[in-house]
Chain A
Amino acid sequence: MDAKQIYQTLSEKFTGRIKQFQENTHPASVVVESDAIVDICSFLKRETELEFTSMISLSGVDLKDQGKMLVIYHLGSIRHKHKIALKVELDRNNPHVPTVEKVWPGANWYEREAYDLYGIVFDNHSDLRRILLPDDWEGWPMRKDYVYPKRYHTWDV
């Protein structure tokens, strides 16, 4: 299926919860409501014509000027060889979105990473801790307004 058809299938199934279709990105992306993400993902994985076997990647993005955060799910199917990106838009002051680790267990670490670097909270995540930075690190370094620390433990940064 090409991205357009995937979008149409989704918008028929989830009327009102699919916000937008962006064709000029590569792969094409579908913007969805954040609280529908788990349903949409499990549908995408289960449905035989879609069968998104794996989550390729998950990235956070900080859109500071618009007061938003994005989470982008890149999904791919090995059987049908198609790809798509799902996007959810979050409030920058309180970014949170349900976890999809029940759908693809591999999402666990990606979500922890987005939490670690952006402070995006994944609701119902089984183990939401910092993953790359030490536990006592302060701040969310990948945010655009992050200020580098001066000192860490007993030495200058």
Chain B
Amino acid sequence: MAVVDERFMDLNMGPQHPSTHGVLRLLIKTDGEVVSRVTPYIGYLHRALEKIAERLTYPQFTPFTDRLDYLASMNCNLAYALTVEKLLNIEIPRRAQILRVIMAELNRISSHLIAFGSLSSDMGAFTPFLFGIREREFINDLFEMVCGARLTYNYIRIGGVAQDIPDGFIDKTKEFLDYFPPKIKEYNDLLSYNAIFIKRLANIAVISPEDALDYGVTGPNLRASGIKWDLRREEPYLMYNELDFDIPVGRGEMGRVGDAWDRYMMRIYEMEQSAKIVRQCIDMFQQGDHIAKVPKVLKVPAGEVYVRAENPRGELGFYLISDGSTKPYRLKIRAPSFANLSIVPKLSGGVMIADLVAIIGSLDIILPEIDR
């Protein structure tokens, strides 16, 4: 017979819960309001993407990368395309590279807007969420112009991008770039420096740099812990090495380095930087092809590569083994949120239940890429 621990109460949070950002289930052992241990249960959205990859051809799998992290579909498309191109060894036209960077950075903004909005609504402030969606709709419109979809774009393809941009896209993007930066100030006034909000997040769930590395935490969560590590800078792909942008790191402005507020603020800073990158790209535009010549039936040379790119949530990597046929032999997806979530049990011993929501929200996890 199992021994019942009388001191603690078991509490289930999820899989249907507004603050778990999807179908995550947390089993919480609590003593009143104080959490003693958290065990995440994942897999409620396991759609077997890796198995699907083995059964489809390389181009056929691109739409599935949209659904890998649907808040950053462009970035996922991009990482996958980069992986296959590494084995194909093809040159991507300059115009396609610029387009890719623009899309990736716009998508980074729209993804961070959801992070901003959902964290604020988790903390009980619903208005910032509406603000975030308002700006996101603008970006959705831009993406709808280039590829017709609002969420699952399937725009960045192996070899380049699906089609060239329509007339008016550049003007509309410029309009967005003028419209957006003042909004960030609005967010800061409304939320970031709000006393209650700071109280809720500062000094909560501090991730030390050592822990972050041990658990493989990447992206804004790692940078919030004070480690300047951004793949766009460290292993530049596309034309990121020609662009001028800063990499914000956590400084412990409101508490200690690596607390929940720092993690939140990384996203705000990064949105500013992304807007800056898009502006530079627009100035660099030049005529040319939007896609390299890729054969209709794509046979990828045999080989093994691990390629990674900086997604809004961290390092997205694809480990691809090709046997020279039209289908991958093995495609392993290294998803940033998977590692970012695995640190939660470590962070949440002794916190209050309400803070647990702040922890999950500030890590900005997304379930489809955890479960794949």
Contact = CB atoms under 8 A, between A and B. Distances in A.
**A and B co-occur in one complex:** yes
Interface of A: 24-27, 29, 53-57, 59, 61-62, 72, 74, 78, 81, 83, 85, 104-106, 108-110, 117, 130-134, 141-142
A26 B320 CA distance: 10
For chain B, give the interface size range: 20 to 34
Contact of B342 (A26, A72, A108, A141): A108
Contacts of B332: 57, 59
Nearest to A85: B306
B330 interface: yes
Nearest to A26: B305
Interface of B: 42-43, 46, 48, 50-51, 86, 213-216, 227, 229, 234, 303-308, 315, 317, 319, 321, 330, 332, 334, 338-339, 342-343, 346, 371-372
A29 B43 contact: no
B227 A24 contact: no
A104 B216 contact: yes
Nearest to A57: B334
24 contacts: A24-B303, A25-B305, A54-B214, A54-B216, A57-B332, A57-B334, A59-B330, A59-B332, A61-B321, A62-B330, A74-B306, A74-B319, A74-B334, A83-B306, A104-B216, A106-B214, A106-B215, A106-B343, A130-B43, A131-B43, A132-B42, A132-B46, A133-B46, A134-B43
B33 to A, nearest CB: 27
Q: Which of B229, B342, B343 has the most C-beta atoms of chain A within 10 angstroms of its own C-beta?
A: B342
A134 B46 CA distance: 10
Contacts of A26: 86, 303-307
B46 A29 contact: no
Given A24-B303, A56-B317, A131-B42, A142 B50 contact: yes
B306 A106 contact: no
> Closest 6 CB pairs between A and B?
A132-B43, A59-B332, A57-B334, A106-B215, A25-B304, A106-B216
B213 A61 contact: no
Contacts of B216: 54-57, 104, 106
B303 A72 contact: no
A83 B68 CA distance: 25
A133 to B, nearest CB: 6
A87 to B, nearest CB: 10
B341 to A, nearest CB: 8
B43 A57 contact: no
A105 B215 contact: yes
Given A25-B305, A56-B317, A133-B43, 12 more contacts: A29-B304, A56-B315, A57-B306, A59-B332, A105-B214, A106-B215, A131-B42, A131-B43, A134-B43, A141-B48, A141-B51, A142-B50
A145 to B, nearest CB: 12
A59 to B, nearest CB: 4
Nearest to B334: A57
B68 to A, nearest CB: 14
Contacts of B43: 130-134
Contacts of A81: 234
Nearest to B331: A59
A22 to B, nearest CB: 8
Contact of A59 (B48, B227, B319): B319
A59 B334 CA distance: 9
Contacts of A104: 214-216
Contacts of B227: 78
A104 B48 CA distance: 26
A27 B342 contact: no
Which residue, B306, B334, B339, B343, has most C-beta atoms of chain A within 10 A? B306
A132 B339 contact: no
A39 B116 CA distance: 43
A54 B213 CA distance: 5
B221 to A, nearest CB: 13
A26 B301 CA distance: 14
Nearest to B306: A74
Contacts of B371: 132
Most interface-central of B43, B48, B215, B216 (chain A CB within 10 A): B216
A142 B331 CA distance: 11
A56 B308 CA distance: 10
A72 to B, nearest CB: 7
A57 B335 CA distance: 9
Nearest to A22: B304
Nearest to B229: A78
A29 B213 CA distance: 21
A32 B48 CA distance: 30
Contacts of A85: 306
